[in-house]
Amino acid sequence: MSRPPDPKFLLRGDMDEDVHSLLFSINSDVEHLYAGDGKGTVHIWDLKTNRIKYQLSDGWSPCFNLHTTNETDLIVQRRHGVIDVYKISESKWILDRSTNYEFCSFCRSQLLSEKDAVLIPLDNSTVGILSLKTFKVESTLDPSKLSYNDKLGMVMAMKPLVDTNGLILVAYEGGKLLLWDMRKNDVLSSLTVEQYPMTFDFDASLMQGILGSASEKLETFEMSPNHTLSHKSTRLLEHVSGIATLSVRPDKKIVTAGCWDGRLMLFSWKKLRPLAILKEHRASIYDIVYSQCKVEAYDTKCLMAATGKGGYISMWDIYN
């Protein structure tokens, strides 16, 4: 492995010790990074000044995920089953709508932008599809009819697959990865993985995914043209007890694993060749995000941000 690079900057401010979620908002007018913390506050960082510009605080429950759409300005998922929607009006952020789907979970919600909906974890191994128009759960992915339903456990992680007409991957506590067809409410394929999967990511261009769990293993898997899931490889990571988050960079060249001990482990995406280990953080990583376009303030075409337990955010220009 090459010598690890240094972070471009560390964002430290009036944030809780636990920062759970990050989201870039980059366009011709603003270069912002949203950060949701353990006290329920969303901090909006201006990357041109590296200072907090706004703080949104309308709840005590930790902010587990953040989304933006063309219809609404900011969607916040809170750990205790709350979805808040904020709008900006005359440079002020206003809590526009809020709903409580009454299920407490560590699983992150996922945005279905084409459906104007959000995937949310529910009880009994079920995924709900929450409409952002009606703010009701309009449909569910319910595995109760599967022969192994009682062995699935809680929904741990999920991801809609880009450009695949309603296909969604869902990882379950008991060690199953299911490929759902949302249009038919049917399971197309299943794959046995490590128990307690914590995170996964999927690259639809290569039809390849990667999964991390409460263990030292990184698992890669593939999807065939007829939508069959299959195991590809397993990599054992030294001195790793668990992987909290995985993120494939938009250009599909590298994947970053955020570990429970605070390390950020970088691999080439196609062959999973180790590239570097970043040790700026000393406690568990909770989120890793990449900018989808160039960030002028940092003079990089793809900026990486990472955060977790410790109350700060590290900013990286990695192999660009």
Examine the pLDDT at 3 and tell me if it is beyond 80: no
pLDDT in tens, 46-90: 999 999 999 999 878 999 999 998 766 899 999 999 999 999 887
- How high is the mean pLDDT of the chain? 94
Q: Which H helix or E strand runs over 137?
A: strand 137-141
CB-based burial label for 219 (10 Å; 0-12, 13-18, 19+): buried
Residue 1: predicted pLDDT: 59
What's the mean pLDDT in 28-32?
91
- Could you count the other beta carbons within 10 Å of the beta carbon of residue 30? 12
How much is the pTM?
Answer: 0.95
pLDDT in tens, 271-313: 999 999 999 999 999 999 999 999 999 999 999 999 999 999 9
Residue 167: predicted pLDDT: 95
Amino acid at 44: I
Backbone angles phi, psi at 281, to 5 degrees: -95, 150
Residue 28: predicted pLDDT: 87
**How many residues are given for the chain?**
320
- Could you count the other beta carbons within 10 Å of the beta carbon of residue 251? 12
Residue 277: predicted pLDDT: 94
- Could you count the other beta carbons within 10 Å of the beta carbon of residue 158? 22
Share of the chain above pLDDT 90, in %: 88
Examine the pLDDT at 103 and tell me if it is beyond 80: yes
Residue 90: predicted pLDDT: 79
Residue 167 corresponds to which tokens in the numbers above? 């296909």
pLDDT in tens, 163-188: 778 999 999 999 999 999 999 999 99
Segment among 86-100, 137-151, 234-248, 260-274 with least mean pLDDT: 86-100
Q: Please report which confidence band the pLDDT of residue 147 belongs to, taking 50, 70 and 90 as the band edges.
A: very high
Share of the chain above pLDDT 70, in %: 99
Q: Which CATH number fits domain 16-88: 2.60.40, 2.40.50, 2.40.10, 1.20.5?
A: 2.40.10
Residue 72: predicted pLDDT: 66
Residue 198 corresponds to which tokens in the numbers above? 């914590």
95: nearest Cα among 133, 132, 56: 56
Q: Please report which confidence band the pLDDT of residue 320 belongs to, taking 50, 70 and 90 as the band edges.
A: confident
